[in-house]
Amino acid sequence: MNNTNHIDECLQKLKEVQIALKNLGSSLEAANKEKTAAVATGRKPATKKKKPAKKQATKVELESLLSSSDWPLAIPEQMICDVASEEDKLERAEGILELIIGTNLTDRRFLDFGCGEGHCVIKADKMGAKTSVGYDISITSKKKRGVTITENWDDVKKNGPYDTIMAYDVLDHIEKETPVEALKKIREVLADNGKAYLRMHPWCSRHGGHLYQKLNKAFAHLIITEEELATMGHKLMPNQKVMLPLYTYRNWIVNAGLKKIEENISETQPEAFFSQEKAVLDRLLSLNNTKEIMTFQMKMNFVDYVVIKNG
């Protein structure tokens, strides 16, 4: 890695932690001044009276705001896939392959790691892949439209190694293993000259809670507690709750023995609503234990990587 790239990565990491450091620095500075003054005068440091806790917006108040058109959407309505339509899901799968991989799959061995119902596997086969395999622990092994979809990792290994592997919006939602363990699996079956394409979906993004099918409101998962959402009839997906995306994802990749060769960030600036609507802002800061709105992190919709074996 050249010096310019190294400096750029360091600067991005620093940006992600600057808010936390600023808050910590202010607290330490105030404490040191108080201690110094106490030593000089021979008195005990003053005990600060606790400020009364800020009154947080109630669930009823938040529900009222949620029903308002003032609260921005998480995703444009026309972009939400109709989960009841097989045609919509296949069309979405084609779009995913073109967006994330964007390369000719002809005569290539393809693996969709975390394939769900297998629509991308079917599309990859139609796009000319020599082998098209889907792996997902939540499904039962089967042949679907001529392709292999399995929950058995041994079956995946038998069909490998793979020239092209995709993990689309999977690693942030891993449950039974760590993201690093999952990436090590990907490395295990990746061909020596192969590439893996990873789409990361950080918790801090405007749609990181995957609520948009029924609650299409930006950052709702960062402002309303999981318990409150449950009483409203909304269930969150399992989530690694990544709040420092670049730092976290880069560490996952390195610790799995992989090397990033591309990193692309999709961004949308958070709307003024989240800093100007007091009830929303107070909740956002309180639930996420920060003193300032985390604009740098919250503007990240997705982070896409292309990775290869590191040695």
d(CA 199, CA 171) in angstroms, rounded, equals: 8
Cβ proximity of 184 and 213 under 8 Å: no
Q: Point out the residues of the chain with pLDDT beneath 50.
A: 1, 4, 27, 37-39, 41
d(CA 236, CA 227) in angstroms, rounded, equals: 10
Please give the helix or strand (H or E) that residue 307 lies within, else none.
strand 300-309
Domain boundaries, the chain: 1-52, 58-309
CATH number of 58-309: 3.40.50.150
Largest CA distance in the chain: 83
User: According to the model, what pLDDT value does residue 120 have?
Assistant: 96
User: According to the model, what pLDDT value does residue 61 have?
Assistant: 85
Cβ proximity of 229 and 221 under 8 Å: yes
Q: What does the pLDDT look like over 92-102, one tens digit per residue?
A: 999 999 999 98
User: According to the model, what pLDDT value does residue 10 have?
Assistant: 53
Query: Which pair of tokens denotes residue 70?
Result: 């003032």
The b/e string for 261-293 (b: 16+ C-beta within 10 A; e otherwise) is eebeeeebebbebbeebebbbebbbeebeeeeb
